[in-house]
């Protein structure tokens, strides 16, 4: 696996791959109120999306992290593949969730080590906004669409979200760093190039979060 994450801040990668960082990320979803709210909202949207999809043969969750969504996804497929760039996250996930209907792989979502159309559904949450160039954010999407046979569920930070509009004002006035965003229309274009149509695209929250959760289906 090549160093495709090189444009990302090395400090972020080192923390994410450390035992301390992995355990802290896991603890956030137990202890921090905003994390609990976002987790609840994501699960509600996923429930709606899988009501459209139904149960499938296989799901790839990448990045899987410590396995926050592992139990939810395992109930909706026969074979769940949990993948993450971080060795520590994969190990923590496996320790907590075992191997029942699950496989684990160390992988980058920018270079997925699977053939074209090899899994029914690919799920990729909360990665896009960490990729620091437009090229990498689009490459991430293309890899998801390449590997998926039927559906892709993915999040990105929307350029038209209220949170980003306010951030852009702070960028101009205060010199803040811009967010790593995607235009909703550009996501649809990349999906269409890969033979997918957008079925649903819902914001995580209208205020306080710029993330959008999209569901794409192969046509």
Q: What pLDDT score does 190 carry?
A: 98
Q: What pLDDT score does 81 carry?
A: 98
Q: What pLDDT score does 6 carry?
A: 45
CA angle centred on 153, ends 149 and 7, rounded to 5°: 100
- Look at residue 8 and tell me whether its pLDDT is greater than 60: no
Candidates 3.40.109.10, 3.40.50.150, 3.90.79.10, 3.40.50.720; CATH matching 10-218: 3.40.50.150
Question: How are strands ordered across the β-sheet holding 77-84?
Answer: 102-106, 77-84, 56-61, 119-124, 148-157, 211-218, 196-203
Q: What pLDDT score does 1 carry?
A: 46
Q: Where are the domains of the chain?
A: 10-218
Q: What pLDDT score does 133 carry?
A: 95
Closest C-alpha among 153, 151, 148 to residue 126: 153
**pLDDT > 70 in the chain, percent:** 95
Closest C-alpha among 108, 42, 31, 33 to residue 69: 42
- Look at residue 165 and tell me whether its pLDDT is greater than 90: yes
**How long is the chain?**
219
Tell me the mean pLDDT in the region 192-202.
98
- Look at residue 182 and tell me whether its pLDDT is greater than 60: yes
pLDDT in tens, 145-158: 999 999 999 999 99
Tell me the mean pLDDT in the region 34-57.
95
pTM of the model: 0.92
Between helix 10-17 and helix 87-97 the angle, nearest 10°, is 30
Q: What pLDDT score does 105 carry?
A: 95
Between 173 and 69, where is the model more confident? 69
- Look at residue 2 and tell me whether its pLDDT is greater than 50: no
- CA–CA dist 116, 102 (Å, integer): 20
């Amino acid at each position: 696996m090549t160093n495709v994450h090189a444009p990302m801040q090395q400090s972020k990668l080192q923390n994410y791959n450390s035992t301390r960082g992995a355990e802290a990320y896991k603890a956030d979803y137990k202890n921090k109120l905003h994390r609990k709210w976002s987790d609840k909202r994501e699960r509600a949207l996923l429930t709606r999306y899988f009501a459209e999809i139904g149960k499938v043969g296989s799901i790839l969750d990448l990045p899987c992290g410590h396995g926050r969504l592992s139990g939810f996804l395992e109930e909706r497929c026969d074979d769940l593949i949990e993948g993450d760039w971080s060795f520590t996250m994969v190990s923590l996930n496996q320790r907590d969730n075992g191997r029942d209907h699950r496989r684990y792989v160390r992988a980058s979502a920018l270079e997925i080590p699977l053939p074209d159309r090899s899994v029914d559904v690919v799920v990729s949450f909360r990665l896009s906004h960490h990729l620091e160039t437009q090229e990498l954010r689009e490459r991430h999407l293309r890899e998801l669409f390449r590997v998926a046979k039927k559906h892709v569920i993915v999040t990105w930070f929307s350029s038209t979200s209220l949170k980003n509009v306010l951030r852009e004002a702070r960028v101009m006035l205060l010199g803040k760093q811009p967010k790593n965003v995607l235009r909703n229309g550009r996501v649809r274009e990349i999906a269409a190039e890969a033979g997918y149509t957008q079925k649903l695209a819902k914001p995580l929250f209208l205020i306080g979060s710029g993330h959008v959760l999209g569901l794409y289906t192969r046509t």
